[in-house]
Structure 1
Amino acid sequence: MSLLGGSEPEFDDPDEFVPEHVPEPGAFLTDHDVLAGEDHVAVHRHARDAFEEYGVYDATFGYNLARLNLDPRHPDAGFRYAEEADDPTTLRAEFTPTTRFCPQAEPLAVGAFRAFDAVGDHGYDLVRVRVDPSLNGSEAVNDRLARMASGGEPPAGDGTDGSDAAGASGPTSPF
């Protein structure tokens, strides 16, 4: 039984790439080498492990955020990956939330970035994470993610990044 009262769907096999159950690559991945098939599965396996280790969970569905890619109820949500065209040692990860107004999109994207950044076994020198432009307020979230990737944003909660002690960062925060 799911947290929302219905029965659990038949999730896709974690070692299978089902194109109909993942979002189309968005603007952040345009003109880069989008991963599909086994390449996508291999990167996503590392994402799942990193998200598990660092607690990147979708509170609405009660599961590791990487599982969203395997949930057939949300075929237009989840992660897509690409290697940068000019630098294949850089991975681009684009997160598409389930709705335009997903209140968890920023904390989930930030958590995904921090988890990717904390682990070194994904095979890339650098990982850049962004949210799909379909998210309301995506520009602010993506600006924050870009600052974090460049080392320009201190850890949340110390007050120097505009956040409070709980890490809330203003209008894009859920509460």
Structure 2
Amino acid sequence: MNVPRPFGSDDGDETVFDDYDEFRPDHEPEPGPFLAGHDVLEGREHAALHRLARARFEDNGVYDMTFGYNLARLNLDRRHEDAGFRYAREADDPTVLRAEFTPTTEFCPQSDTLTVAAFRAWNDDPSLHEFDLVSVRVAPMHQRDVAINGRLEQLEEQFLETGEVAVEDAAAGAPGGTDEGVDDAPDVGGTPF
């Protein structure tokens, strides 16, 4: 059964996507506070890193279920020019990459899952890139940014202590099987984005 996706997929019209080798600042989200004061990547450096993101996400199944494509492709989708990832090398430690995810809407219910999946994809095998740590956060425009980023900070702390990406209890949705400190998302009704 072939069910059409309302917002497109990899099988859709390629004219709505930029190329992975391009960096178009007007088609990228603005760097937010998580990247402020750090070396924000642009041009060829951003494009090269984003191609690596595509590979890491493909290897780890980081897909946006609404759009039906590898999450890295969101940066290239001209229909959502203010959404996707921006990257910066940490000012005090260039072996740390900061990745800030801006979702398509402030109430995107996938933002928690997508940022955790991105963190795990980047850090599951650091030998595949030049960074000792890829620190991931959701942009503050998201209604649950504090809770989501708190969860990402916990995962990062566990990774730095153990050198391994924490396995989570899928039923509870947080490290170690607890939802402590994570607010429930309000019911906004309508179609999830």
TM-score in terms of structure 2 length: 0.80
Alignment check: 8 A CA contact 1:106 1:172 kept: no
Residues of 1 paired with 2:71 and 2:113: CA distance?
Answer: 11
Q: Deviations over 1:146-174 (max 9, x none)?
A: 110110795221763415xxxxx761499
Residues of 2 paired with 1:144 and 1:113: CA distance?
Answer: 11
Residue of structure 2 equivalent to 1:171? 184
TM-score in terms of structure 1 length: 0.88
Q: Which amino acid aligns with 2:5?
A: L
Q: Deviations over 1:35-87 (max 9, x none)?
A: 00011111111110010000000000000000000000001100000000001
Alignment check: 8 A CA contact 1:66 1:78 kept: yes
Number of matched residues? 170
Residue of structure 1 equivalent to 2:167? 155
2:142 to 122, 135, 138: 135
Residue of structure 1 equivalent to 2:13? 8
Q: Which amino acid aligns with 2:13?
A: E
Q: Secondary structure at the match of 1:43?
A: helix
Unmatched tracts of structure 1, length 5 or more: 164-168
Residue of structure 2 equivalent to 1:115? 121
Alignment check: 8 A CA contact 2:95 2:131 kept: yes
Residue of structure 1 equivalent to 2:95? 89
Residue of structure 1 equivalent to 2:162? none
Residue of structure 2 equivalent to 1:124? 131
Alignment check: 8 A CA contact 1:162 1:170 kept: no
Residue of structure 2 equivalent to 1:166? none
- The 1:12/1:3 distance shift into structure 2, 3 A limit, reads same
- The 1:119/1:173 distance shift into structure 2, 3 A limit, reads farther
Q: Secondary structure at the match of 1:110?
A: helix
Q: Root-mean-square deviation (CA), in Å?
A: 2.5
Runs ≥4 in structure 1, deviation > 6 angstroms? none
Residues of 2 paired with 1:104 and 1:18: CA distance?
Answer: 25
